[in-house]
Structure 1
């Protein structure tokens, strides 16, 4: 088994947890320490990617391009990556990120909509960026559909394609079925991004590696939407025990986790009833905060809202639907 390439996502996925309020100082510290630990890729953007700062998705404390610049200043040998969701981020946002020093982009689409990534992947490749296809909500499509969409991203020039468990809904067999099929039929790297809503993020990441993935996402101190992501420092330690190479300094990552826990994490990143329901219902992991807000506004149980969103197959980028759904549920409740 070859080297596992790890992308640290706390400064992007973790943005959801802190209400997109990361400061340049926090970004510099986390990036510098992660770089010293040997983390090869570090993702920095608004939780919903480039251009995500808005009333709909949440306003950032600082412009995400400024955060990218701050990260690049202290990144050392680490590559700074950005996330881009077509329809939220634009080609101009991508070009700005490149000018700020980002050298990898992950172009994220819903698992059945890879065709909307073509222009963004091709543009990133033309600028010389390492370019990753990111198939969100991969649990919601059969493995054969995931493969079909991954092939599209590969044909556009993606250097790797990720199976992305945005809802934290996958079981080990779900991961193995998708990753093994991509490994068999694609010539590019295969990646996996987990959420811990069913307490399976580390286990699912190991299942992905065993099935052929060589790129894995982690988040220090589990800082990420819902119940968080695969906990970087734990994964590094487990892989070390298994004799799998990451070239990441475990003790430095443990020290960084202690810093994040004491200075950034607003509350313990455990599996609450809300985050569990997201995995159980199969809804996008960043929906929890929006569902709680909608619950308080309309007097509808946030768990019922999340389950209803799962039934309606609401996907990332449709956060405005959460308010609409809660309002409809409240009106139905009153009419009954």
Structure 2
């Protein structure tokens, strides 16, 4: 293994994915405080925004406390060294949102698509190329596609202009062997293009899955401070960095300062660190988007249905991110069946 292949780029979506856990209500002081600490630790890329990305703040998905402009302006000033990234899924965000993010100082943009719908990214990846902004692309709910399908879709993303491609375990459904198969197939399909993995902890496997991804050839790995993120949270950033460094990989991050950043995240961003509770576990087993957690709990309580049953029913329907309206429909159906 060469020095180049032993280096892993750590990508930190604490201030984007973490938003799911607090109903998108982070304020300017919270964003500034964590971004400053992450920058001081040498975290190379820090992602900012509403949990569902640019343009997603809405009554249906959840109205953020701050606008995209406000979040990006605050974060940019707090990140003099780290690159600032944004996330956008076509349908929630638009080309206008991307242009505006770049004007606000975004160095990198991730364009996301459902795991079998890479073609929806072509226009936006082309725009980023025209803007001269680094463009990555990720496939959501990737457990719903085979390794061969994911490899084919990632190859398309590269054709469209993505400079790094990969998968999100949006439901926290994977086991390490699942990740190994998928990352191996993607690496073989895209050659020298960097491959991304983003894990969730619903089955308690986020760190193991991230290690499996690196060993299979992924070179960009996501992690959130204290695991702050949707569902049971994301791969825990500070643990990820410590484990990779012990394995002989380099990240360029100052671990002591990163531990301080993680303490700051716990103290200032979250009511409590995420945990694998019963509902999160079932979400992972059912293969349901982790970001549905709070909405499922709210509707289950209101309609007097078991959230465990509701998650399994949503999984049986194959519901994906963006179909939040179906949560109520499925809950009412369960309620009707219980009568």
Q: How far apart, in 2, do the equivalents of 1:129 and 1:39 lie?
A: 19
Per the TM alignment, residue 126 of structure 1 is displaced from its structure 2 partner at its CA by: 1.1
Q: What TM-score results when the alignment is normalised by the length of structure 2?
A: 0.97
Moved over 3 A (4+): none
Q: How does 1:144-293 map to 2 (within 5 A)?
A: 144-187=148-191, 188-293=193-298
Q: Work out which of the residue numbers 84, 95, 98 in structure 2 matches 1:94.
A: 98
Tell me the equivalent position of 2:12: 8
Contact 2:227/2:273, CA 8 A, preserved across alignment: no
Partner of residue 77, structure 1: 81
Partner of 2:135: 131
2:150 aligns to what SS in structure 1? Answer: helix
CA distance in 2, matches of 1:199, 1:296: 25
User: How far is the alpha carbon of 1:23 from its aligned partner?
Assistant: 1.1
How many matched pairs? 334
Shift of 1:47: 0.2
C-alpha displacement at 1:44, in angstroms?
0.3
CA distance in 1, matches of 2:298, 2:179: 32
Look up the match of 1:103.
107
Measure the CA separation in 1 of the matches of 2:264 and 2:38: 12
CA contact (8 A) 2:184 2:217 kept: yes
- Structure 2: give runs of 5+ residues left out of the alignment: none
Do the aligned partners of 2:226 and 2:273 also contact (CA within 8 Å) in 1? no
Q: What displacement does 1:298 show?
A: 1.0
Q: Does 1:46 align with 2:53?
A: no
Q: What are the within-5 Å matches in structure 2 for residues 17-56 of structure 1?
A: 17-56=21-60
2 CA distance for matches of 1:121 and 1:209?
Answer: 25
Contact 2:230 2:291 (C-alpha < 8 Å) held by counterparts: yes
SS in 2 for 1:69: helix
Among candidates 329, 333, 336, match of residue 334 of structure 2: 329
Give the Cα–Cα distance (whole angstroms) in 1 for the partners of residues 19 and 187 of structure 2.
Answer: 31
Alignment counterpart, residue 141 of structure 1, candidates 140, 145, 161: 145
3-state SS of paired residue (2:15) = coil
Whole-angstrom distance in 1 between the partners of 2:276 and 2:165: 28
Query: SS of the residue aligned with 2:249?
Result: coil
Quote the offset at 1:121 in angstroms.
1.0
Distance 2:133 2:336 in 1: 49
State the secondary structure of the residue aligned to 1:42: strand
What value does the CA root-mean-square deviation take over the aligned residues? 0.9
- Residue 232 of structure 1, CA deviation: 0.4
- Quote how far apart the aligned CAs of 1:81 are: 0.6
User: How far has the Cα of 1:243 moved from its partner?
Assistant: 1.6
State the Cα deviation string for residues 182-231 of structure 1 (Å, max 9, x = none).
11120311010000011111110000000000000000011000110010
- In 1, Cα distance between the equivalents of 2:276 and 2:90? 30
